[in-house]
Structure 1
C-alpha cells in the first residue's frame, strides 16, 4: 500500500480531483450530468470520486462494505460542505435502491468481484430505465 492510501484525507482529495478532471468529462461525452442526476458509486471507499458530482448538484449515494470507509466518507463530505448518502453494506444485500440511478460509478471494484454476471444484473436493477 502506498503512503497516500494510508492518509485517507489525501487519498479522498486525490480521487476527487481525478473524478472531476477525468471521469466527469469522459461521462459527459455520452450523458449529461448535473443538478438532479442520481449517481451511485459501488465500492465508494471514502467517497472522493463522488465529491465533484455532489458539487455539481447530483444526488450521490455511495455503498461500500467497509464501515470505516463509510464513516470517513461522511466526515469528509461534512468537512467539504457536500451532500451525500453513504451505506455500509455489500451491494448485493441492498434492496432499497432499486431503479433509482441515472449513473453508476465503479472505480477499482469490478476486478474484486468473483461473479461478474450477477454483479452486472445487480447494476441493471439499480439503474432507472435509460440509466
Structure 2
C-alpha cells in the first residue's frame, strides 16, 4: 500500500489560516457545512447546550474546528502530532481571543483518563492513520457515558478515487493538493466505520454525505481561474463549497453516542 506523507502538515503549518494556501480549501469549502451539521446535531437533534461542554478535537491541525466549538462556549482541548500546526493554532486562537488547550498527542494514544469529554470530534484524520480502529477505541474510552462522537472521513469508492485522488492530487492540470496527502486504500467505507464504532460501544450512528453544491461547469471555471492565479484558494473553496446530502460516495460525516457504562 502506498504511504501517506503526514509530515506535509509540518511544512504547511503557516497556511492553515492563509487566503492562498491549499489548506484554505478546508476552511472555506469543507468546514462550513460540516460544522453546521455538528452544531445542529448537538443543539437540535440531541438538545445539548454547547456552553460548557468539554470538547476534544482529535487531529486538530491549525484549529479550524476547535475555534468553532470554542466560539459556541465549549471548553475545548485540541490534540495533534504536528508541533508546527499546534503553534499556528495557538497563535490564531490568541489573536481571536479564544482560550483553547492545545497539546501534542497521537490519536492512537490519547493522554487522558477515561470518560473525560462530552464531545469528541475527529475530522480529516481517520483516513490518515494506520489503525483507525485504535483511534475509535481511544475516542470511545475518553467519552463520557452518553457522550457524542462527531466525525468525517472519505469513502473508498470509484468516485472517491476519481475525485479525491485523480482530480485533486494526481492529475497535473487539476491538482489542488500535494501528492500523497491521501491514499485511496486508506479510505473507510461507512459499514467499516460502523463496525468499529459498534465494537467500542458507540451506538446510534448517523451518516450524512458531504457533496459538491455547484455544477461541474462552474467548478471548472473556478479551478481554471485558480490555476491562472486569478482566484485565491480561499475564494476557490467558497466557490466549491460542499453541502450536506444523502450521497456518501465521496465524503461523509456523522455522529454516534457512547453507551452508558
Q: Could you tell me which of 81, 92, 106 is aligned with 1:90?
A: 106
Q: Could you tell me which of 69, 72, 83 is aligned with 2:88?
A: 72
Contact 2:112 2:142 in 1 (8 A): no
Q: Could you tell me which of 26, 40, 43 is aligned with 1:25?
A: 40
Query: Is the partner of 2:45 in helix, strand or coil?
Result: coil
> Residue 54 of structure 1 corresponds to which residue in structure 2?
70
Q: Which has the larger radius of gyration?
A: 2
Q: Normalized per residue, which structure has more strand?
A: 2
Where structure 2 has 5 or more consecutive residues not aligned to the other structure, the ranges are 1-7, 19-23, 148-261
String of CA shifts for 1:27-70, please: whole Å, max 9, x gaps.
43433241111111111000111112111110001110000000
Q: CA deviation at 1:6?
A: 6.5
**Residue 74 to residue 6, structure 1, CA distance change in 2 (3 Å):** closer
Query: Is the partner of 1:102 in helix, strand or coil?
Result: strand
User: What TM-score do the two structures reach when normalised by structure 2?
Assistant: 0.44
- Once structures 1 and 2 are overlaid, which stretch shifts more, 21-30 or 31-40? 21-30
Asked if residue 125 in structure 1 is aligned to residue 141 in structure 2, the reply is yes
Query: Is the partner of 1:94 in helix, strand or coil?
Result: coil
> Residue 247 of structure 2 corresponds to which residue in structure 1?
none
- Coordinate RMSD, CA, aligned: 2.5
Where structure 1 has 5 or more consecutive residues not aligned to the other structure, the ranges are none
State how far apart, in whole Å, the 2-side matches of 1:72 and 1:33 are. 29
State how far apart, in whole Å, the 1-side matches of 2:141 and 2:94 are. 29
Q: Normalized per residue, which structure has more helix?
A: 1
